[in-house]
Structure formats: C-alpha cells, structure tokens
Amino acid sequence: MFEVHNGRFFQAWLGGGSILIVPLGALLLVLITLTGVYDWLRNWLGRRRRQHRLTPNRVARETY
C-alpha cells in the first residue's frame, strides 16, 4: 500500500515522472473539493433567495 501512496508503484510506467503522481493527485482532490463547496454554496444561497422572494405574504401583496 505504501508503494501506491508515495508513487513508486507507477515508476515502471512513468519513470521519473512518477514523483508527480502524489502532488497532482492532492491538487486534484483539493480542486474537486473547492468546486463542490462552491456549487453547494451557490445552490444554497440561490434557494434561500428564492424562498425569501416567494414568501406567502409577499405573494399575496403582489397579486393585488
């Protein structure tokens, strides 16, 4: 398991470039996490704005 963790497992296929596997994997994990948080916040804030805009009292007042 340690061979995969530090990238030595891929040394036969990638040669010296295998040292980049772990840092690139970590950067990819951070990027996926940040974009997921961004999407979640955007969705959550959008839902709150829509709910605030369409409260029953406001809808009733705007229809008259």
Q: Is 12 inside a domain boundary?
A: no
Q: Across residues 13-24, what is the average pLDDT?
A: 82
Has residue 18 been placed in a domain?
Answer: no
Q: Is residue 7 part of a domain?
A: no
pLDDT score at 7:
74
pLDDT at 49: 76
SS3 string, 9-40, reads: HHHHHHHHHHHHHHHHHHHHHHHHHHHHHHHH
**Total domains in the fold of the chain:** 1
Expressed as residue numbers, the domain containing 46 is 23-64
Condensed to tens digits (0 to 9), the pLDDT of residues 29-40 reads 999 999 999 999
* Residue 5 CA, distance from chain mean position: 22
